Structure 1
Amino acid sequence: METIAGKTVVLTGASGGIGVFIARALAREKATVVAISRSHESLEQICAEVERLGGRGISIPFDISNLEGLSDLVQRIYELAGSIDILINNAAIEKYRPFQNYALNDIHSILTTNLLAPMELTRLILPNMINRNSGHVVNIASGSGKKGAPYNSIYSASKAGLIVWTDSMRQELTNTNVGISVVCPGYTKAGMFLKFGLSAPSLARVSEANDVALAVIQAIKQNQGEVIIDGILTRLLFSNIQLFPKFGDRIYRWIGLTKLNQTCAENQMRNENHQ
């Protein structure tokens, strides 16, 4: 899809983290942004900013973990916007802790928001894109989906599922004019670790959230299959990790990622106990 101007883009998780920066980037491309999030007030602020930047903003407060309601959500989008040209599955939740400390409800909520909801939204929207022979889907995954992150295993599993599902879908869509991309950020300045006052591992590159947003725009325009934000060295590392998993484990311990995630888990569980 060479141009985004005038296109209608559905963006989940629009009111927080990377989603805000993606909404701004889309606005600068003169797109109509259908912003979806649970927070009505935040959505209104985002849509006002989209309008100021040259786009059109439509806010729809909705919890995408309500899978049964997604069909009605899609119908409402068609009524308000007329069409859906691009879907960006960005909404996600993560919870740090040792695996045995997850409750079943934690596992269900993470997998539903991060994986099942993107699948169901795409399933509902894709037929219309195929019939029109035009459209693009972007799934926002994570480096944690390329190499599992300790103390964040359910999030990692959900993002790995998103990556492999996108890979399968790209092959199915080969003979159509509908594209699908997966974008895998690493550490960003919108990351949860910052909420705990922690720093990223010293050897890790921390991306600006706007860099991720620009990568999403480029993925759409160039129909890129998979985008890893952290550059060629990270791609080489992930490639080697697939062949030598325990080598990857040592790298994660060496750069401090394992310790950082363990600290995030301890802080998050402590905060929950004090609530």
Structure 2
Amino acid sequence: MQGLKDKTIIVTGGGGGIGGAACERLAKEGAKVAVLDRDLGAAEKTLERILQSGGKGIALACDITDRSAVDAALQAVEQRLGPVDVLVNNAGWDIFKPFTQTNAQEWERLIAINLVGALHMHHAVLPGMVARKAGRIVNVASDAARVGSSGEAVYAACKGGLVSFSKTIAREHARHGITVNVVCPGPTETALFANFADAAPNPDKLRESFTRAIPLGRLGLAQDLVGAISFFASDDSAFITGQVLSVSGGLTMNG
């Protein structure tokens, strides 16, 4: 990918499956990667793999639902790696329940992590990008945002909100040389999906039904997402903004 070498990139949820894989790929492309995660131990494991491969980066504990924690993390990143060139909003959380069986506390947590946390990250990083008149933002949403998903009503609402928010920010900041694009995974083999499936009445049946619905015949892997994320982070996508790309084995085929 063009234009990633020596760029400073923040990846939220960098200790997880998709986030960790994205961090490693971006580091292999020559970027300096700030691995942010609520779980510092998980972030440090990702960083260890980056350093073992000859890459550059740092690991930071950051709860994206806490604006003061976001501001502190951004300050640490800029002090240690330099101004942020790319933001990858990947952190997320989900539960599997019919909407009428959920409660307000669960809604609040889902919204805080999946939507408000991303708003905090944009609000913190955008002023610097505007001042430098350059930047890339990649938001990891979900195909649930595009077509809905039974048992994920509030999660889908948050990811749908992230998609429309991304398009709006793309319009507001195009004149500043900032691009904003969205990657929508389908069902992907991660710890988040495992927890989601295990909460279903019949996890094996759920996995089978998802697999049957995917034209390419399997669930996604974290590695399936990193190419799309890296592309939107790179200069190869310099004339692309406000777009949504499904990486779901053909589960959804929206034009």
Q: TM-score, normalized by length of structure 1?
A: 0.80
**What is the CA distance between 1:233 and its match in structure 2?**
7.2
Q: Determine the structure 1 residue equivalent to 2:129.
A: 129
**What is the CA distance between 1:227 and its match in structure 2?**
1.4
After TM superposition, where is structure 1 displaced by more than 4 Å over at least 4 residues in a row?
none
Q: Determine the structure 1 residue equivalent to 2:252.
A: 234
**What is the CA distance between 1:16 and its match in structure 2?**
1.0
Q: Determine the structure 2 residue equivalent to 1:76.
A: 76
Q: Kindly tell me: are residues 194 and 70 of structure 1, through their superposed partners in 2, closer, same or farther at Cα, counting changes over 3 Å?
A: closer
2:228 aligned to which of 215, 230, 241: 215
Q: Matched residues in 1 for 2:66 and 2:54: separation?
A: 32
- Which one has the largest radius of gyration? 1
Deviations 1:4-29 (A, max 9, x none): 11011111001112111101111111
Q: Matched residues in 2 for 1:48 and 1:168: separation?
A: 36
**What is the CA distance between 1:168 and its match in structure 2?**
0.9
Q: Is 1:203 aligned to 2:203, yes or no? A: no
Q: Matched residues in 1 for 2:147 and 2:96: separation?
A: 16
Which stretch of structure 1 is more off in the superposition, 132-141 or 220-229?
220-229
The amino acid that maps onto 2:227 is L
Deviations 1:171-222 (A, max 9, x none): 1122221111111111222264445353234121422211201110112221
Q: Determine the structure 2 residue equivalent to 1:16.
A: 16
Q: Is 1:112 aligned to 2:112, yes or no? A: yes
Q: Kindly tell me: are residues 97 and 44 of structure 1, through their superposed partners in 2, closer, same or farther at Cα, counting changes over 3 Å?
A: same
Q: Matched residues in 2 for 1:104 and 1:42: separation?
A: 29
1:179-190 equivalent positions in 2, closer than 5 A? 179-190=179-190
SS at match of 1:175: helix
Residues 26 and 55 in structure 1, CA contact (< 8 A), matched pair in contact too: no
SS at match of 2:151: coil
Unaligned regions of 5+ residues in structure 2, if any?
Answer: none
The amino acid that maps onto 2:213 is L
Residues 64 and 117 in structure 1, CA contact (< 8 A), matched pair in contact too: yes
Q: Matched residues in 2 for 1:82 and 1:187: separation?
A: 35
Q: Matched residues in 2 for 1:188 and 1:231: separation?
A: 10
Q: Matched residues in 1 for 2:54 and 2:79: separation?
A: 22
Residues 110 and 154 in structure 1, CA contact (< 8 A), matched pair in contact too: yes
SS at match of 1:207: coil
Q: Determine the structure 2 residue equivalent to 1:260.
A: none
Deviations 1:41-82 (A, max 9, x none): 222111111112232120111211223432222222222222
Q: CA RMSD in A?
A: 1.9
Q: Matched residues in 2 for 1:187 and 1:19: separation?
A: 15
SS at match of 1:121: helix
Q: Matched residues in 2 for 1:191 and 1:165: separation?
A: 26
1:40-79 equivalent positions in 2, closer than 5 A? 40-79=40-79
Q: Matched residues in 2 for 1:72 and 1:233: separation?
A: 39
Which stretch of structure 1 is more off in the superposition, 36-45 or 61-70?
61-70
Q: Determine the structure 1 residue equivalent to 2:169.
A: 169
Q: Determine the structure 2 residue equivalent to 1:245.
A: none
Which stretch of structure 1 is more off in the superposition, 205-214 or 195-204?
195-204
Q: Percent identity?
A: 26
The amino acid that maps onto 1:211 is D
Q: Matched residues in 2 for 1:82 and 1:11: separation?
A: 15
Residues 115 and 161 in structure 1, CA contact (< 8 A), matched pair in contact too: yes
SS at match of 2:174: coil
**What is the CA distance between 1:122 and its match in structure 2?**
0.8
Q: Kindly tell me: are residues 192 and 62 of structure 1, through their superposed partners in 2, closer, same or farther at Cα, counting changes over 3 Å?
A: closer
Residues 23 and 33 in structure 2, CA contact (< 8 A), matched pair in contact too: yes
Q: Matched residues in 2 for 1:201 and 1:230: separation?
A: 11
Aligned length: 237
Q: Matched residues in 1 for 2:91 and 2:143: separation?
A: 16
